[in-house]
Amino acid sequence: MKIAAGVDIGGTNTAIGIITEYGEIIFQTSIATTSYLEPEELVIQVAKILKEEISKINSLFTFLGTGIGAPNGNFKGSIEFAPNLKWKGIIPLAQLFEKHTGAPAILNNDANAAAIGEMVFGKARGINDFLFITLGTGLGSGIVANGKVIYGNDGFAGELGHTITFKDGRACNCGRFGCLETYCSATGLRRTYAELIREDFSENTLSSESIFQKAISGDEVAGEAFRITAEILGLALANSVAYTSPKAIFLFGGLANAGEFLLNPVKEHFEKNLLNIYKNKIPVLLSGLKEADAALLGASSPIFNN
């Protein structure tokens, strides 16, 4: 049986796993990213853990390599100026992993890794053209066309979250105003809720989970916050269909699970805004990846898809 390592590097923790070709996670652990002042020190530690674990398991397994998911990771193998990692400059991460594990390594940003994970292990198996949207703190996206993730010239294609949706709208972390993710993400929902109750958005503004609970219990303002989020997202997805023509769209992340409050109204506004030739053809579906496993499955999946 073939196995690969999945390494998901976050600002706080780095998750490490060993995954079979069938998407079963047979080992997982995590280490504190912030304990390593230099990226190579972290890579050396991860490689040591992987070597120990792989030597313990049956020698019938073939280790194919390491897939890495990291913020701002690009397909050329480097992390460039990731705002939530302490390491500065351009880090040749895939190369460092190859040096210390002695096996191939492939780096992707989190959203592209999760999109490939959907294709290898999730509901997009056999689907060659689809959009994958993660609704978390921000809005991440991966575009798959002809069975391949679209990276673009510099590797940064698929930044749907940073398409300007409202001119002079909400301030975005990217330094501009009105980006889609400032409306359609867990943070965006919280900002909308704060606006509706005429409060300044702050750390104390209700969590997206609490807003969901309120919506379920019939709170009209919470319901309205979801309705606004869904309306904007449905329109944005309909627009993205015009230049990608996907077979399906997958939504991933805590917010996506708010079924009747998000998925159903998103579908409604999506259909309403689609160009006629696409109407009633493109399902908007929840991701088939379990949230707890998605980061490791996503990170490792390009190794199996290579």
Q: What is the closest distance, in whole angstroms, from the C-beta atom of residue 229 to Zn ion in the complex?
A: 17
Judged by CB under 5 A, the residue of 162, 191, 214, 269 near Zn ion is 162
The SS3 assignment for 139 reads strand
- Contact present, 66 and 101 (Cβ < 8 Å): yes
Q: Report residue 87 as tokens.
A: 């390491």
Q: Considering only the stretches 42-50, 155-163, 208-216, 271-279, report the one whose residues sit in contact with Zn ion under the rule CB under 5 A.
A: 155-163
Q: Are 278 and 245 in contact (CB under 8 A)?
A: yes
Q: Name the residue nearer to Zn ion (CB basis): 50 or 179.
A: 179
Point out which span in 121-129, 172-180, 237-245, 264-272 binds Zn ion (CB under 5 A).
Answer: 172-180
Radius of gyration, CA atoms only, the chain: 20
In which residue are the tokens 């023509």 written? 245
Residues 174 to 213: which contact Zn ion by CB under 5 A?
A: 174, 179
Cα distance between residue 180 and residue 100, in whole Å: 39
CA 12 → CA 29, 85, 139, distances in Å?
14, 8, 19
Among 120, 149, 172, 285, binds Zn ion (CB under 5 A): 172
Given a contact cutoff of 8 angstroms between Cβ atoms, the answer to whether 73 and 114 are in contact is no
CB of 208 to Zn ion, least distance (A): 19
Given a contact cutoff of 8 angstroms between Cβ atoms, the answer to whether 166 and 148 are in contact is: no
CB atoms within 10 A of CB 47: 21
User: Which of these ranges, 74-82, 139-147, 156-164, 231-239, lies near Zn ion under the rule CB under 5 A?
Assistant: 156-164
Contact flag: residue 127 with Zn ion (CB under 5 A): no
- Residue among 4 and 172 whose Cβ is closer to Zn ion: 172
Minimum gap (Å) between residue 225 Cβ and Zn ion:
20
Choices 46-54, 158-166, 201-209, 211-219 (CB under 5 A): range interacting with Zn ion: 158-166
Binding site for Zn ion (CB under 5 A): 162, 172, 174, 179
